[in-house]
Amino acid sequence: MSPSFLAAAVSTVAAAAFTGMLVRRCTRVQRLDLIAWSVAAAGLAIALAAQALGYHQGFGSTTFRAVQIGGRLIAPLALCWGLAEVVGRTFLARFGSRLALLALFVIGSVILVLDPLASVTFSTAWPAAATYYEPIPNAVLLLIAVATAGWAVVALAVAGVRARGEPGWRGPFPARGAGAIAVLLPQGLQGDRPVGSSHP
């Protein structure tokens, strides 16, 4: 049993438990930011579960796509959605953010699901997106990574400005900052590695 499988399996359990906690809270407090965090946690749990299965039985087209879509599409975009809900000053800003993120999700999911994969044999080694995806889906993944990183920086800047001008925002500011940093984590965790790498 490889260390990579064990790490991915433990992470999957933790992500699933966290998703369950968020979903239970959503049933009590129905807020869009909590729904967004729940979707992000679920996407990350799916990606980690696919990693665990791939390290144990060998990756394939389904597990490869699940890792990319769950970890590099759903999780970061949902985290950005949650940030937009908590830092957006007006309804128009929040609504515009939802539309932009929804467009990225729809376009990205169609391309990442339907684009044919390269004819490279899968194994239990980490399947780098650059190896198995064609140029267009790789460009989409890069666009999402850049867009979500920029989104996190803007959200952090907005939260900082509001914390300086509105005393009520000073206490929650560290949590907003942590949320902005969290947007970057799925991209780092799912970043491409050499095809022979076995680390999660």
What is the per-residue pLDDT across 57-72, written as a single tens digit (0 to 9) for each?
Answer: 999 999 999 999 999 9
| pLDDT tens-place string over residues 2-16 | 888 998 899 899 999
Q: Does the pLDDT value for residue 78 go beyond 80? A: yes
Between the alpha carbon of residue 108 and those of residues 82, 99, 142, 148, 179, the distances in Å are: 19, 14, 11, 13, 23
C-alpha to C-alpha distance for 179 and 173, rounded to whole angstroms: 10
The mean per-residue pLDDT over the stretch 12-33 comes to: 91
The mean per-residue pLDDT over the stretch 133-145 comes to: 93
What pLDDT is attached to residue 30?
84
End-to-end CA distance of the chain: 14
What pLDDT is attached to residue 194?
44
| pLDDT tens-place string over residues 88-125 | 778 898 899 999 999 999 999 999 999 999 999 999 99
Q: What number of residues does the chain have?
A: 200
